[in-house]
């Protein structure tokens, strides 16, 4: 057993001379001189200057600390908030221009701060780049250090294994024929089977030992997690720089070709080039909406949408029949095409005052209420001698109340009706000023038909024609088609972002559930021929399963050497028993 020596020490207060004593009076001048000398030395001391190189090292150390990386990650999230509060110029420049006009007091100030271009602004880019540098500066040194640790041998065997958190001893009888060297080899084989990296140390003489460790995957998981975060950020940056998105409305029979002029709305990435657009095409053959016809509470509610489309990868490629559904996009030309909306498009023919066809085809009706109640705007700039405009609503199943108010009673086309007011004059389209296709500016138009006029409004059923007053022409309701709204997204970093996100989750799980452990075993031979074995386990960090690992290792050794677990000599021990190879004096 080790010997411990207790000593009694006097406190500084007990050793100090007491005030009023002869020793205190004699020591007072000397103490004052020592204090004065100490103060003079402190005042004259000068700290060495860091210098330019030292300042750079200090700044790099601060930037690459994990605390700084977490702060920059939080700051990046906060910096992205203005992008959702203010309109962004890349998405809709006209809205930004109107916003500045509507807020002349602070609109231009926000523009000077780049709050309308948040994600391409200098300050957002600076935070993004600093976060990259910080994460890379954190990961690379840790990866190098971990690589060196994996290449190095396990730490040397401690002199006193009994000081480890988990410690135990075993005694192998002399008649078992197991020497100290054989016992250490058996322990090494068992530990290797359990995934430990083992080093046997026979050079310890009569007391051979081994060192083993495992759990390197814990740090590997940590490194994979942080590296994957960098990958996610890079993927998001690639998507923002080279990706694009757009919207298009397709009426049954229409074809969309992936060119800039083919989009109704287009949002390019910062470094987008038109050469990125692959000239694929998609045609809407048929659209089918299924409505609930069984439940009373939700009767008429849509339950399924199916769009049959024909696609071509390029103009010379063969046609392919596909089905587009909600949350089931069609992937074409590196883009994902999503079904996002649908409605009805009345087909009309408008003739001008000279009897010529000025406009013919489907008009997209914008959904406004229940049962597909939709608003309709028709602009006919080619009509002669006056341009014509129509505004009103479309009802798939028209019903009339007791007060003469029309409404839609069902979303299906049971009794379709088109109700319009007509106007003539200057539509304002010849000036090149952009207009909303779902709105009609009537400030420069004169009214022809409405409820308030003698002519009344226009009410048409499929196949009906209405002749406009004053010889301005006519309008015919030819029928109804269906349309769909599609969102088109191209994100070159989407797949890599998903892969890195999954890797980050996997790395995090590994780092949380894998524990870094070290095991040491020492053997020796007693004077009576018994082989004495002691072992100790140590965890790096928190490991509530370390005791279980110690019990498992003990059980494996007992079975290997066919020892009796109930024997007092093989019982678990938290201190060095008599006869163990533990030295009797501290070394």
What pLDDT does 3 receive? Answer: 34
Give 541's contacts (C-beta < 8 A, 6+ positions apart). 515, 516
Tell me the C-alpha distance between 502 and 506, whole Å: 6
Is the bond leading into 385 cis (omega within 30 degrees of zero)?
yes
- Residue 578 is predicted with a pLDDT of 36
Residues paired with residue 357 on neighbouring β-strands, in sequence order: 351
The Cα 268–Cα 281 span in angstroms is: 19
Report H helices in 80-215: 82-85, 93-102, 107-112, 122-151, 180-193
224's enclosing H/E stretch is helix 216-242
Q: Any idea which residue has 């019990």 for tokens?
A: 551
pLDDT recorded at residue 17: 53
What are the pLDDT digits (tens) for 278-296?
889 999 999 999 998 888 7
Tokens 């600390």 correspond to 65
On whether the CB atoms of residues 395 and 373 are closer than 8 A, the answer is yes
In angstroms, rounded to a whole number, what is the distance separating the alpha carbons of residues 497 and 503?
10
Cα→Cα distances 558→49, 178, 298, 554, 578, Å: 63, 13, 70, 6, 20
Whole-number pLDDT of residue 572: 56
Question: Is residue 40 within a helix (H) or strand (E), and if so which, with residue range?
Answer: helix 22-44
The pLDDT, as a whole number, for residue 375 is 93
Other beta carbons within 10 angstroms of residue 584's beta carbon come to 9
Helix 494-513 × helix 216-242 angle, to 10°: 160
Residues 252, 484: Cα–Cα separation, whole Å: 8
Distance (Å, whole) CA 227 – CA 298: 50
Maximum Cα interatomic distance, the chain, rounded to a whole number of Å: 131
Structure letter (DSSP) for residue 94: H
Whole-model pTM? 0.67
- 536 vs 185: CA distance, rounded Å: 17
The ranges of the chain with pLDDT < 70 are 1-29, 31, 41-50, 91, 204, 432, 566-587
For position 568, what pLDDT does the model report?
58
Q: What is the pLDDT of residues 20-77, one digit of tens each?
A: 555 545 556 676 777 777 777 666 666 566 678 888 888 888 888 878 888 988 998 8
Tokens describing residue 189: 């084989």
Q: Are 541 and 512 in contact (CB under 8 A)?
A: no
Assign 3-class secondary structure to 558-583.
HHHHCCCCCCHHHCCCCCCCCCCCCC
Q: How far is it, in rounded angstroms, from Cα 58 to Cα 51? A: 10
Would you state the pLDDT for residue 23?
Answer: 53
pLDDT of the residue at 8: 39
Please name the residues in contact with 370: beta carbons below 8 A apart, sequence gap of 6 or more.
408
């Amino acid at each position: 057993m080790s010997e411990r020596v207790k000593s009694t020490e006097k406190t500084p207060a007990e050793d100090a001379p007491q005030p009023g004593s002869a020793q205190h009076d004699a020591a007072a001048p000397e103490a004052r001189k020592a204090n004065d000398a100490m103060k003079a030395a402190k005042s004259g001391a000068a700290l060495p200057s860091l210098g330019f190189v030292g300042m750079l090292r200090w700044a790099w150390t601060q930037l690459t600390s994990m605390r700084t990386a977490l702060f920059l990650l939080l700051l990046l999230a906060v910096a992205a908030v203005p992008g959702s509060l203010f309109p962004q110029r890349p998405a809709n420049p006209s809205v930004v221009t109107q916003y500045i006009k509507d807020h002349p007091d602070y609109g231009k100030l926000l523009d000077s701060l780049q709050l309308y271009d948040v994600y391409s602004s200098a300050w957002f880019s600076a935070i993004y780049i600093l976060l990259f540098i910080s994460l890379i500066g954190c990961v690379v040194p840790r990866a190098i250090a971990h690589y060196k640790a994996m290449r190095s041998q396990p730490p040397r065997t401690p002199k006193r294994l009994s000081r480890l958190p988990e410690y135990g001893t075993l005694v192998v009888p002399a008649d078992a024929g197991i020497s100290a060297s054989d016992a250490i080899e058996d322990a090494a084989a068992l530990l290797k089977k359990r995934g430990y990296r083992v080093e046997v140390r026979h050079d310890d003489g009569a007391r051979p030992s081994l060192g083993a460790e495992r759990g390197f995957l814990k740090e590997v998981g940590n490194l994979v997690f942080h590296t994957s975060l960098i990958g996610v950020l890079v993927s998001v940056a690639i998507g923002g720089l080279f990706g694009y998105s757009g919207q298009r409305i397709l009426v049954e029979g229409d074809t969309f070709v992936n060119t800039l002029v083919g989009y109704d709305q287009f949002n390019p990435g910062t470094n987008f080039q038109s050469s990125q657009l692959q000239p694929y095409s998609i045609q809407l053959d048929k659209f089918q909406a299924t409505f609930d016809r069984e439940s009373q509470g939700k009767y008429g509610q849509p339950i399924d949408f199916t769009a049959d489309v024909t696609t071509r990868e390029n103009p010379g490629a063969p046609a392919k029949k596909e089905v587009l559904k909600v949350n089931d996009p069609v992937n074409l030309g590196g883009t994902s095409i999503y079904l996002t909306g649908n409605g009805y498009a009345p087909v009309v023919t408008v003739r001008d005052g000279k009897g010529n066809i000025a406009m013919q085809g489907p008009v997209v009706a914008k959904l406004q209420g229940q049962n597909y109640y939709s608003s309709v705007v028709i602009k006919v700039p080619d009509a002669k001698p006056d341009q014509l405009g129509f505004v009103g609503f479309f009802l798939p199943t028209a019903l009339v109340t007791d007060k003469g108010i029309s409404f839609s009673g069902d979303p299906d086309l049971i009794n379709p009706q088109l109700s319009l007011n007509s106007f003539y004059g200057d539509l304002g389209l010849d000036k090149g000023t952009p207009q909303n296709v779902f709105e009609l500016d009537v400030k420069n138009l004169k009214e022809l038909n409405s409820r308030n006029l003698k002519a009344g409004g226009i009410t048409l059923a499929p196949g009906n024609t209405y002749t406009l007053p004053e010889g301005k022409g006519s309008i015919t309701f030819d029928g109804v088609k269906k349309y769909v709204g599609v969102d088109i997204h191209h994100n070159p970093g989407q797949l890599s972002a998903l892969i890195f996100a999954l890797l980050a989750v996997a790395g995090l799980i590994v780092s949380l559930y894998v524990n870094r452990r070290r095991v040491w075993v020492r053997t020796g031979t007693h004077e009576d021929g018994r082989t004495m074995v002691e072992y100790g386990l140590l965890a790096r960090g928190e490991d509530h399963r370390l005791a279980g690992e110690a019990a498992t290792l003990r059980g494996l050794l007992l079975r290997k050497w066919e020892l009796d677990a109930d024997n007092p000599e093989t019982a678990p021990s938290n201190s060095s028993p008599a006869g163990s190879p533990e030295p009797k004096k501290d070394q």
